[in-house]
Structure 1
Amino acid sequence: MTDKPKVEAPAVSQRPTHLHTHTFHGLAPGPKLLVLGAVHGNEVCGAKAITQLLQDIDSGQLNIERGSVTFVPVTNPLAHQLQLRIGDRNLNRNMAPSAIPQDFEDRIANVLCPLLDAHDVLLDLHSFHTGGAPFVMIGPQDNSGTLEPFTHAEAEMRLAVCTGAPRIVEGWLDTYARGVSRRAAAPTATGTARAQTLVTNPNYGVGTTEYMRSRGGYGVTLECGQHDDPQAVQVARRAILQTLALLDMASVPPEPVPADREILRLVDVTDREHAGDSFSREWRSFDAVKAGELIGVRHSGFQVKAPHDGFVVFPNPRAEPGQEWFYMARRRP
């Protein structure tokens, strides 16, 4: 399979100068919820669902009664303006304030990180390249380790379940850390020095939810469906409403949760090394593979095979060299 021709980014006449947020305060005490859309600019289902719900609030169809909720329909306005995943870089990596911001995403993070600090719970709405069912990503079990210490695993699992996603995925940060370690040991000779510095930074696996956990809160990333699937908007809308119900912030009736849920753990990540690397077929997230099954072929002719029985996750046929090509997952025991 060959990649599609690279699409040139639309011209930008003026870079965005602000981040647009909408906050509603209930008149009774309660938690502080943050809902993000379009952290990646071409993942618009969350932005569309948030826009619908803002209209419902303005019309009185939905009332925030307890706590407060802040909606950010478009979290990366430059990437959204470009209709691309990123602006200058991936906003959902290396999430941290910058004393000396070097790119647009650094400047957004300088606004977004204090916003995350000010909230208790995060729902981050995304979509994915290839087909497949929605899934939700959670953090680690409660632990006091050095990589991602955490004390809200039970609450986070309740949040994940209420989104209605039939599949729950864990193991992001430690899997990403292994990928960073490999990149640092054998850097790809492509991209700018800035790009190489980012992808080999141990903090590069930290996105919105990881930052939220590091600040004492909890949150999930909901992958609502394929980018262009209109049903992804409804998945995002339902998740927001059910989160408000779970947190008792609005008079929204709770819906039944899936009886059968699959929990998978990410165990490894494989980078694309060359623009000529190609998949053996059009993989979708969570396609099952057997040990030794062909997944892709390197530009050199080297065959990339599944190291064990499991599932292909986040296959990205247009990944830049040195970036994540696909992940492998296994069922949680």
Structure 2
Amino acid sequence: MQTSTPSPQTGPDAPYPIELEFPDIRPFAEGNTGIPYVYTFDSGVPGPHVMVNALTHGNEVCGAIVVKELLDVGIRPRRGRLTLAFANVAAYERFDPANPDASRFVDQDFNRVWTPAILDDRSRDSVELRRAREMRPVIDQVDFLLDLHSMHERSAPLSVCGPLEKGLALARALGTPAWVVCDEGHPEGRRMRDYAAFGDPASPKNALLIECGQHWEAGAAEVGREVTAGFLVLHGIVESTELPPGWLSQPEPAQKVVRVTEPVVASSFDFRFAGNYNGLETFPEAGTIIAWREGEPIRTPYRNCVLVMPSLRQLRPGVTVVRLGELLDL
């Protein structure tokens, strides 16, 4: 899938240039699991079941690039099982460089449906729910999930580890990216990384969601390769020498951990930020105005408040437009 590049950015709401080529993933449609676009390889040797997932959102191409490259080189696990998947392919197929944000999903956000109550409720139907139900049997078997994402705005990459200590421990063990966000998720619904045993503190199963950078910047694919390589080596799925050259990077010398305390949700289309924020802006003083919602100021609730993924590109009532977090002193 070849894309053209929109005009250069001229303001905070203008489109970002598309620096990545969207790969043709149609040759992988059959899969090898009975589920389209999902591949599982079994080493025959005891070990964990590790999954690398791409295209939770249809316009987040960096994960698709990484998973396609792993399939192209014929990567196979030394122990345990490895699953490689393209998730919301229906949204990906709708990508239009003239309106690149429109293909995030078809009917609803694929990453807000991951509770048994929603998945089991057959009175509900959407393109995304059908795909989640189709993929669910494989995800139920996974021990360690790496879900590759990207962000609306150009911000430093970050690891989203969920609210549990086991998630933070996994982010630290991976050692990259430099920023780690601990959070409860979104009011609109549960993410795949928090689904079932991944969100159970008593279970050894674990997951990370990596925001690799802005959706279409070239560096997002590089981050995707690095975190995927580190994740596979960390769990003994492959040796570093079995990965393509240049994939494995050194862990960050230090990581900054942000614990999200609250989402800021738009109640209408009348919402604006006080500045041109991209993400990870840190405000040293409590009480600083960061936005206005229907004319009312929104202020930082504490010192060293961090803005996590602020964006108005998907603005509508009920949508989280930014999350506020405390910078933890490690």
Category of TM-score, reference length = shorter chain? 0.7 to 0.9
- Partner of residue 316, structure 2: 320
- Please give the secondary structure, in 2, of the residue aligned with 1:54: helix
Q: Which amino acid aligns with 2:94?
A: L
- Partner of residue 125, structure 1: 148
Shift of the 31–243 alpha-carbon distance from structure 1 to 2, 3 Å rule, reads same
Following superposition, the deviation at residue 163 of structure 1 comes to 5.5
- Partner of residue 40, structure 1: 57
Q: Is the aligned partner of 1:295 residue 2:265?
A: no
In structure 2, how many angstroms separate the alpha carbons of the residues matched to 1:226 and 1:280? 21
Q: 1:219-255 deviations in whole A, cap 9, x for unaligned?
A: 1101111111111111111111111111111121575
Shift of the 65–2 alpha-carbon distance from structure 1 to 2, 3 Å rule, reads closer
TM-score, with length taken from structure 1:
0.76
Following superposition, the deviation at residue 37 of structure 1 comes to 0.7
Following superposition, the deviation at residue 160 of structure 1 comes to 4.8
In structure 2, how many angstroms separate the alpha carbons of the residues matched to 1:2 and 1:230? 19
In structure 1, how many angstroms separate the alpha carbons of the residues matched to 2:169 and 2:199? 17
Pairwise CA RMSD:
2.5
**Pairing partner for 1:164 from 162, 166, 176:** 176
In structure 1, how many angstroms separate the alpha carbons of the residues matched to 2:306 and 2:198? 27
In structure 1, how many angstroms separate the alpha carbons of the residues matched to 2:139 and 2:270? 39
Q: Which amino acid aligns with 1:55?
A: D
Following superposition, the deviation at residue 107 of structure 1 comes to 0.9
- Please give the secondary structure, in 1, of the residue aligned with 2:176: coil
Structure 2 regions of 5+ residues with no counterpart? 1-10, 16-28, 96-102, 242-247
Following superposition, the deviation at residue 41 of structure 1 comes to 1.0
Q: 1:264-320 deviations in whole A, cap 9, x for unaligned?
A: 10011111122232222221111112322222223x432222222311111121222
Q: Report sequence identity in percent.
A: 25
1:169-188 alignment to 2 at 5 Å? 169-173=181-185, 176=186, 180=187
Question: Any conservation in 2 of the 1:95–1:113 contact (CA below 8 Å)?
Answer: no
Q: Is the aligned partner of 1:26 residue 2:22?
A: no
Q: Is the aligned partner of 1:249 residue 2:233?
A: no
1:88-99 alignment to 2 at 5 Å? 88-96=107-115, 97-99=119-121
In structure 2, how many angstroms separate the alpha carbons of the residues matched to 1:267 and 1:140? 10
- Partner of residue 311, structure 1: 306
Following superposition, the deviation at residue 132 of structure 1 comes to 1.5
Divergent runs of 4+, >4 A = 1-5
- Partner of residue 50, structure 1: 67
Q: Which amino acid aligns with 2:129?
A: D
- Partner of residue 267, structure 2: 273
Q: 1:49-107 deviations in whole A, cap 9, x for unaligned?
A: 111121112xxxx44221111111x3112221233212111111131323414211111
Shift of the 2–164 alpha-carbon distance from structure 1 to 2, 3 Å rule, reads closer
Shift of the 272–329 alpha-carbon distance from structure 1 to 2, 3 Å rule, reads same
- Please give the secondary structure, in 1, of the residue aligned with 2:277: coil
Question: Any conservation in 2 of the 1:3–1:278 contact (CA below 8 Å)?
Answer: no
Q: Which amino acid aligns with 2:267?
A: E
Shift of the 304–140 alpha-carbon distance from structure 1 to 2, 3 Å rule, reads closer
Q: Which amino acid aligns with 1:172?
A: E
In structure 1, how many angstroms separate the alpha carbons of the residues matched to 2:274 and 2:83? 43
- Partner of residue 21, structure 2: none
Following superposition, the deviation at residue 3 of structure 1 comes to 5.1
In structure 2, how many angstroms separate the alpha carbons of the residues matched to 1:159 and 1:132? 18
TM-score, with length taken from structure 2:
0.77
In structure 1, how many angstroms separate the alpha carbons of the residues matched to 2:209 and 2:164? 16
Q: Is the aligned partner of 1:228 residue 2:216?
A: yes
In structure 2, how many angstroms separate the alpha carbons of the residues matched to 1:230 and 1:255? 17
Q: Which amino acid aligns with 1:51?
A: K
**Pairing partner for 1:207 from 156, 179, 191:** 191
- Partner of residue 138, structure 2: 115
Following superposition, the deviation at residue 129 of structure 1 comes to 0.9
Q: 1:167-219 deviations in whole A, cap 9, x for unaligned?
A: 1111224xx4xxx4xxxxxxxxxxxxxxxxxx4xxxx2x21111041474211
Question: Any conservation in 2 of the 1:284–1:315 contact (CA below 8 Å)?
Answer: yes
Where relative contact order (Cα < 8 A, 6+ residues apart) is larger, the structure is 1
